[in-house]
Structure 1
């Protein structure tokens, strides 16, 4: 086995992001209401977007964000809002904790490969900062403080084990290509790159983490190198193939702590074939017929990889088109 293959296989192990692990975060009863804190976070994030600029928007370099000096004419991050060309500042709504959050993100480059689902593993370089205010000469100043960086990632981070803001952002980016070098390292190109602006309710909220203070919105500059497809319920079907509406996001709304007010049924059951409240990617019996999905993935009684399932007439079947992941031939 050559060095490249050895290196690549080492990356297959999926782990949770050290600074974003739910398991390591302290569990506290937050004294602030989620909605009240979100209003503060949103105001701070939007102020930051309007008063700071990206020094070099080349997605292949380290992304540096600086404050626009007095009298400066640098284009603010806000100036990229809904741009038709890159960089693009975009946003999406995220329901969590009874609050509909606006999650802003800058796309410096979309990428040329595949997008992860919200439950996949990602190999990504990143730099993390948190927003806070300091008083200097009686002036309350908003700024960002560095807390962690990974420029040469060696492991995949499972998006279900990181902060919610990561899982809600990465499906908006794609991977690129890579090649092995004579020294055994790997070089990446054309990967998706951008900046995420995450309210504290989609991060650590009241608990803080590893030097990050409570109630701090986070900023991550990211570069998406590769994806590790996950099969959460071990039913033989990768999660992304159980994303029935193909939007890249799968959510278990039965968690009433995180989702005290579930969305309308069209959203709640978008990826739930039998509408039992458990989305297909976590449901070992997707169609609720009492027979496990893994057992049903057979052709003439033989269990085969889902991606290789043919139709009964011998033609190739697109797995994403099989509504119930069920193929039986006489």
Structure 2
């Protein structure tokens, strides 16, 4: 009898645990929020932040300190200050149009990346959250990550969308190599981007970043790395057919301006982007109209210019 009771209790416990696991899994599978509804909330939070925080300091090396305006404070908010340009650009994604705010601390003097290049950038990241203290909820910027001395390039095709949308608005600077192996960067582009969650991690979150959190990144753009994602001999940024500095993977509801043969694959990922059955690398000709063998095409690494590098029109390496 006691043995029967033991197995019965074990069975009930197992069923209960299994039921709890199913309930937890069901909770985790909650469908994502509507993009338009969430964006409205994010935009409200971002604009409130811009109107209630001020730029306390920008160092000589363009490190920025942003602080909340205290009650009764007379500091000019980011929204109202005139020392630096607060700009915005429209980003069409998820069947809505996002407004991406960004603050220009310095534009930079070099080259601008496209949204499908690599960037070497220092950055500091915060997310916005309403934190309740003493019964009142206050919009707060919560630090989550910082990279002061970047050692590798970020491929903008694999980062969050907001990075690919903001970085092309800035330029690189110059640098000198030091005897101790370090590098000193000067005149680089520096700014702050304010991203709604739809241009960030949205419902997935990341590490300590909650789902649906708007993001703030202060950054310095040191260098760019031109990429050739489809290996066709033409760098990604050179396959920007409409010349707006951005390549589109998807163009919702309208033809993709960067998809020449309209096959649904943008040119920078299409080895035959004119759809004639020949690989693009076999169609690169010089100004004299003579085919340039693929193996003879100089590397377009951003440090050289090859005026004979042509694909339907003259393109250059910078």
Same fold (TM over 0.5): yes
Structure 2 residue runs of 5 or longer lacking an equivalent are: 1-27, 301-305
Which has the larger displacement, 182-191 or 69-78? 69-78
The C-alpha deviation readout for 1:72-113, integer Å capped at 9, x for no partner, is: 222211125xx6xx5111111112222211111101000000
Does 2:196 match 1:180? no
Q: Compute the displacement of 1:199 (Å).
A: 0.6
SS in 1 for 2:115: coil
CA RMSD of aligned residues (A): 2.2
Which position in structure 2 is the counterpart of 1:189?
186
SS in 2 for 1:187: strand
CA contact (8 A) 1:111 1:173 kept: yes
In the aligned structure 2, how far is the partner of 1:247 from the partner of 1:77? 28
Which position in structure 2 is the counterpart of 1:5?
none
In the aligned structure 2, how far is the partner of 1:196 from the partner of 1:301? 42
Change (3 A) 1:94 1:301: closer
Which has the larger displacement, 159-168 or 49-58? 49-58
Does 2:135 match 1:134? no
Change (3 A) 1:28 1:55: farther
Q: Compute the displacement of 1:218 (Å).
A: 0.5
In the aligned structure 2, how far is the partner of 1:263 from the partner of 1:79? 36
Matches within 5 A, 1:65-76: 65-76=66-77
Change (3 A) 1:307 1:185: closer
In the aligned structure 2, how far is the partner of 1:200 from the partner of 1:234? 33
Matches within 5 A, 1:98-137: 98-137=95-134
TM-score (norm 1): 0.79
Structure 1 residue runs of 5 or longer lacking an equivalent are: 1-26, 254-258, 309-314, 326-330
Structure number with greater Rg is 2
Give the length in aligned residue pairs.
Answer: 278
In the aligned structure 1, how far is the partner of 2:60 from the partner of 2:241? 32
Q: Compute the displacement of 1:138 (Å).
A: 2.0
In the aligned structure 1, how far is the partner of 2:192 from the partner of 2:29? 29
Matches within 5 A, 1:302-321: 302-303=293-294, 304-305=296-297, 316-317=307-308, 319=310
Which has the larger displacement, 150-159 or 62-71? 62-71
The C-alpha deviation readout for 1:156-215, integer Å capped at 9, x for no partner, is: 000011111111110001000000112110000100000010111111111111100111
Does 2:309 match 1:322? no
In the aligned structure 1, how far is the partner of 2:77 from the partner of 2:311? 41
TM-score (norm 2): 0.82
